[in-house]
Amino acid sequence: MLRFYYSTAPNPMKVALFLEEAGLPYEAIPVDTRKGDQHKPDYLAINPNAKVPAIVDGDAVVFDSNAILLYLAEKTGKFLPAEKTPKVRGELLSWLMFVASGVGPYSGQSVHFRHYAPEKSPYVVNRYGYEAQRHYGILNERLATRKYMLGETYTIVDMDVWGWARLIPVVLGEEHWAKFAHLKRLVDEITARPAAARAIAIKDRHAFKAEMDEEARRNMFRHIEVKVM
Protein backbone atom coordinates (compact mmCIF):
# COMPACT_ATOMS: atom_id res chain seq x y z
CA MET A 1 0.00 0.00 0.00
CA LEU A 2 1.16 3.52 -0.79
CA ARG A 3 2.61 5.33 2.23
CA PHE A 4 1.82 9.04 2.52
CA TYR A 5 4.03 11.07 4.84
CA TYR A 6 2.18 14.21 5.78
CA SER A 7 1.51 17.12 8.07
CA THR A 8 -1.45 19.50 8.00
CA ALA A 9 0.43 22.18 6.01
CA PRO A 10 -0.81 23.31 2.56
CA ASN A 11 1.51 21.16 0.45
CA PRO A 12 0.58 17.81 2.04
CA MET A 13 -3.10 18.74 1.80
CA LYS A 14 -2.85 18.93 -2.01
CA VAL A 15 -1.71 15.32 -2.08
CA ALA A 16 -4.33 14.26 0.46
CA LEU A 17 -6.95 15.79 -1.82
CA PHE A 18 -5.71 13.81 -4.83
CA LEU A 19 -5.57 10.56 -2.88
CA GLU A 20 -9.14 11.05 -1.70
CA GLU A 21 -10.42 12.20 -5.09
CA ALA A 22 -8.81 9.22 -6.82
CA GLY A 23 -9.92 6.74 -4.18
CA LEU A 24 -6.41 5.36 -3.80
CA PRO A 25 -5.75 3.23 -0.73
CA TYR A 26 -2.95 4.69 1.36
CA GLU A 27 -1.40 4.64 4.79
CA ALA A 28 -1.17 8.13 6.29
CA ILE A 29 2.03 8.51 8.30
CA PRO A 30 2.28 11.71 10.37
CA VAL A 31 5.44 13.79 10.29
CA ASP A 32 5.13 16.25 13.17
CA THR A 33 7.34 19.11 12.02
CA ARG A 34 6.95 21.02 15.29
CA LYS A 35 8.44 18.00 17.09
CA GLY A 36 11.22 17.69 14.51
CA ASP A 37 10.14 14.41 12.90
CA GLN A 38 11.27 15.73 9.51
CA HIS A 39 14.89 15.75 10.69
CA LYS A 40 14.98 12.15 11.88
CA PRO A 41 17.27 9.81 9.90
CA ASP A 42 14.48 7.47 8.81
CA TYR A 43 12.56 10.34 7.23
CA LEU A 44 15.66 11.96 5.74
CA ALA A 45 16.25 8.67 3.94
CA ILE A 46 12.93 9.31 2.18
CA ASN A 47 13.27 13.06 1.69
CA PRO A 48 16.75 14.47 2.28
CA ASN A 49 15.26 17.96 2.10
CA ALA A 50 13.40 17.37 5.39
CA LYS A 51 10.08 18.61 4.05
CA VAL A 52 6.61 17.13 3.72
CA PRO A 53 4.91 15.57 1.88
CA ALA A 54 6.53 12.45 0.50
CA ILE A 55 5.19 9.13 -0.71
CA VAL A 56 6.60 5.65 -0.98
CA ASP A 57 4.84 3.65 -3.68
CA GLY A 58 6.50 0.27 -3.96
CA ASP A 59 10.02 0.98 -5.19
CA ALA A 60 9.18 4.59 -6.05
CA VAL A 61 9.97 7.35 -3.59
CA VAL A 62 8.62 10.77 -4.53
CA PHE A 63 8.92 14.02 -2.61
CA ASP A 64 7.74 17.58 -3.31
CA SER A 65 3.99 18.01 -3.54
CA ASN A 66 3.87 18.94 -7.23
CA ALA A 67 6.10 16.03 -8.22
CA ILE A 68 3.77 13.74 -6.28
CA LEU A 69 0.66 15.17 -7.93
CA LEU A 70 2.14 14.67 -11.39
CA TYR A 71 3.44 11.18 -10.55
CA LEU A 72 0.09 10.00 -9.21
CA ALA A 73 -1.93 11.60 -11.99
CA GLU A 74 0.22 10.00 -14.68
CA LYS A 75 0.24 6.65 -12.92
CA THR A 76 -3.53 6.52 -12.50
CA GLY A 77 -4.54 8.51 -15.59
CA LYS A 78 -6.80 10.63 -13.37
CA PHE A 79 -7.27 14.39 -13.11
CA LEU A 80 -5.23 15.22 -16.18
CA PRO A 81 -6.46 17.37 -19.09
CA ALA A 82 -8.80 15.61 -21.46
CA GLU A 83 -6.82 16.85 -24.48
CA LYS A 84 -3.46 15.14 -24.99
CA THR A 85 -1.77 17.83 -27.07
CA PRO A 86 1.60 19.56 -26.66
CA LYS A 87 -0.26 22.85 -26.09
CA VAL A 88 -2.27 21.51 -23.16
CA ARG A 89 0.73 19.62 -21.78
CA GLY A 90 2.66 22.88 -21.81
CA GLU A 91 -0.12 24.63 -19.88
CA LEU A 92 -0.25 21.81 -17.33
CA LEU A 93 3.48 21.95 -16.63
CA SER A 94 3.64 25.74 -16.67
CA TRP A 95 0.92 26.22 -14.08
CA LEU A 96 2.21 23.42 -11.87
CA MET A 97 5.63 25.07 -11.84
CA PHE A 98 4.08 28.51 -11.33
CA VAL A 99 2.55 27.29 -8.09
CA ALA A 100 5.69 25.39 -7.10
CA SER A 101 8.15 28.21 -7.74
CA GLY A 102 5.97 31.23 -6.97
CA VAL A 103 2.68 30.80 -5.14
CA GLY A 104 3.96 28.33 -2.55
CA PRO A 105 7.29 29.96 -1.67
CA TYR A 106 5.97 33.53 -1.53
CA SER A 107 2.91 32.46 0.45
CA GLY A 108 5.06 30.51 2.89
CA GLN A 109 7.44 33.41 3.42
CA SER A 110 4.52 35.81 3.83
CA VAL A 111 3.09 33.59 6.55
CA HIS A 112 6.46 33.31 8.25
CA PHE A 113 7.25 37.01 8.37
CA ARG A 114 3.68 38.06 9.19
CA HIS A 115 3.12 35.56 11.98
CA TYR A 116 6.30 33.88 13.21
CA ALA A 117 9.38 36.05 12.68
CA PRO A 118 10.73 37.26 16.04
CA GLU A 119 11.64 40.60 14.49
CA LYS A 120 8.96 42.37 12.45
CA SER A 121 10.33 44.11 9.38
CA PRO A 122 7.74 46.18 7.47
CA TYR A 123 9.92 45.96 4.36
CA VAL A 124 10.10 42.16 4.44
CA VAL A 125 6.40 41.73 5.27
CA ASN A 126 5.50 44.04 2.40
CA ARG A 127 7.93 42.35 -0.01
CA TYR A 128 6.56 38.84 0.47
CA GLY A 129 2.98 40.01 0.87
CA TYR A 130 3.21 41.93 -2.39
CA GLU A 131 4.60 38.94 -4.30
CA ALA A 132 2.05 36.55 -2.83
CA GLN A 133 -0.74 38.95 -3.76
CA ARG A 134 0.68 39.38 -7.26
CA HIS A 135 0.77 35.63 -7.84
CA TYR A 136 -2.78 35.15 -6.58
CA GLY A 137 -3.83 37.99 -8.86
CA ILE A 138 -2.44 36.09 -11.86
CA LEU A 139 -4.43 32.99 -10.85
CA ASN A 140 -7.54 35.09 -10.37
CA GLU A 141 -7.17 36.64 -13.81
CA ARG A 142 -6.72 33.20 -15.36
CA LEU A 143 -9.91 31.96 -13.71
CA ALA A 144 -11.90 34.97 -14.91
CA THR A 145 -12.21 33.35 -18.35
CA ARG A 146 -12.46 29.65 -17.56
CA LYS A 147 -14.04 27.38 -14.97
CA TYR A 148 -10.83 25.62 -14.00
CA MET A 149 -7.16 26.45 -14.44
CA LEU A 150 -6.90 24.41 -17.66
CA GLY A 151 -10.38 25.01 -18.99
CA GLU A 152 -13.48 22.94 -18.32
CA THR A 153 -11.75 19.97 -16.68
CA TYR A 154 -10.90 19.68 -12.98
CA THR A 155 -7.23 18.66 -12.78
CA ILE A 156 -4.24 18.41 -10.48
CA VAL A 157 -3.51 22.07 -11.23
CA ASP A 158 -6.71 23.06 -9.45
CA MET A 159 -5.79 20.83 -6.50
CA ASP A 160 -2.37 22.46 -6.49
CA VAL A 161 -3.89 25.95 -6.39
CA TRP A 162 -6.40 24.94 -3.69
CA GLY A 163 -3.66 23.81 -1.32
CA TRP A 164 -2.39 27.35 -0.79
CA ALA A 165 -5.21 29.60 -1.99
CA ARG A 166 -7.65 28.39 0.65
CA LEU A 167 -5.31 29.98 3.21
CA ILE A 168 -5.24 33.47 1.70
CA PRO A 169 -6.65 34.92 4.96
CA VAL A 170 -3.57 33.59 6.77
CA VAL A 171 -1.15 34.51 3.99
CA LEU A 172 -2.42 38.05 3.39
CA GLY A 173 -5.36 38.79 5.67
CA GLU A 174 -9.09 38.05 5.49
CA GLU A 175 -9.86 41.29 3.68
CA HIS A 176 -7.85 40.20 0.64
CA TRP A 177 -10.47 37.65 -0.44
CA ALA A 178 -12.41 40.55 -1.93
CA LYS A 179 -9.65 41.01 -4.51
CA PHE A 180 -9.82 37.45 -5.81
CA ALA A 181 -13.47 36.66 -6.58
CA HIS A 182 -12.70 34.15 -9.34
CA LEU A 183 -10.07 32.36 -7.30
CA LYS A 184 -12.40 32.21 -4.30
CA ARG A 185 -15.07 30.65 -6.51
CA LEU A 186 -12.68 27.83 -7.36
CA VAL A 187 -11.52 27.38 -3.77
CA ASP A 188 -15.09 27.27 -2.47
CA GLU A 189 -16.13 24.76 -5.12
CA ILE A 190 -13.25 22.41 -4.33
CA THR A 191 -13.66 22.79 -0.57
CA ALA A 192 -17.30 21.73 -0.94
CA ARG A 193 -16.31 18.45 -2.60
CA PRO A 194 -16.60 15.35 -0.36
CA ALA A 195 -13.00 14.42 -1.14
CA ALA A 196 -11.79 17.78 0.18
CA ALA A 197 -13.69 17.26 3.42
CA ARG A 198 -12.01 13.88 3.81
CA ALA A 199 -8.60 15.35 3.00
CA ILE A 200 -9.01 18.10 5.58
CA ALA A 201 -10.20 15.55 8.15
CA ILE A 202 -6.98 13.57 7.80
CA LYS A 203 -5.60 15.76 10.59
CA ASP A 204 -7.96 14.04 13.01
CA ARG A 205 -6.23 10.68 12.53
CA HIS A 206 -3.19 11.73 14.50
CA ALA A 207 -2.31 14.18 17.26
CA PHE A 208 0.05 16.93 16.12
CA LYS A 209 1.89 19.35 18.38
CA ALA A 210 -0.19 22.53 18.45
CA GLU A 211 2.08 24.88 20.39
CA MET A 212 4.48 27.13 18.50
CA ASP A 213 6.92 27.17 21.41
CA GLU A 214 10.71 27.31 21.45
CA GLU A 215 11.01 23.61 20.62
CA ALA A 216 8.76 24.06 17.59
CA ARG A 217 10.64 27.16 16.42
CA ARG A 218 13.97 25.35 16.63
CA ASN A 219 12.61 22.40 14.64
CA MET A 220 10.83 24.44 11.97
CA PHE A 221 13.17 27.43 11.69
CA ARG A 222 16.63 25.94 12.00
CA HIS A 223 18.32 29.14 10.87
CA ILE A 224 17.65 30.46 14.39
CA GLU A 225 20.60 28.42 15.64
CA VAL A 226 22.71 28.47 12.49
CA LYS A 227 24.16 31.83 11.45
CA VAL A 228 25.18 32.13 7.83
CA MET A 229 27.64 34.94 7.26
Q: What is the CATH number of the domain that holds 121?
A: 1.20.1050.10
CATH of the domain at 62: 3.40.30.10
Pairing of strands 54-57, 2-6: antiparallel
Whether residue 188 sits in one domain with residue 92:
yes
Count of CB atoms situated within 10 Å of the CB of 201: 11
- Report yes or no on 8 lying in a domain: yes
**Do 53 and 137 lie in a common domain?**
no
The CA distance from 147 to 136, in Å, is 16
In 3D space, the residue among 29, 55, 10, 51 whose CA is nearest the CA of residue 159 turns out to be 10
Q: What are phi and psi of 148, to 5 degrees?
A: -125, 170
Q: What is the pLDDT of residues 209-229, one digit of tens each?
A: 788 778 787 877 867 655 555
Question: 83 to each of 77, 80, 143, 193, how far by Cα in Å?
Answer: 12, 9, 19, 24
What tens digit of pLDDT does each residue of 50-63 get?
999 999 999 999 99
As to burial, measured by CB atoms within 10 angstroms (0-12 exposed, 13-18 middle, 19+ buried), residue 115 is exposed
Question: Is 44 contained in some domain?
Answer: yes
Query: In the chain, how many domains are there?
Result: 2
Report pLDDT digits (tens) over 61-96: 999 999 999 999 999 999 999 998 999 999 999 999
Q: Are residues 210 and 184 in the same domain?
A: no
Are 70 and 14 in the same domain?
Answer: yes
Same-domain check for residues 95 and 188: yes
C-beta atoms surrounding 178 within 10 Å? 8
pLDDT at position 215, please? 79
Report the pLDDT value the prediction gives residue 208, as an integer from 0 to 100: 84
The C-alpha atoms of residue 165 and residue 159 are separated, in whole angstroms, by 10
- Contact, 77 vs 66, CB < 8 A? no
Residues 185 and 203 in one domain: no
**In contact, 31 and 38? CB cutoff 8 Å:** yes
State how far the Cα of 11 lies from the Cα of 133, in Å rounded to an integer. 18
Global pTM reads 0.94
Does 229 fall in a domain? no
Both 100 and 177 in a single domain?
yes
Same-domain status, 92 and 185: yes
156 and 113 within one domain: yes
Domain of residue 47: give its range. 2-78+198-224
Residues 7 and 36 in one domain: yes
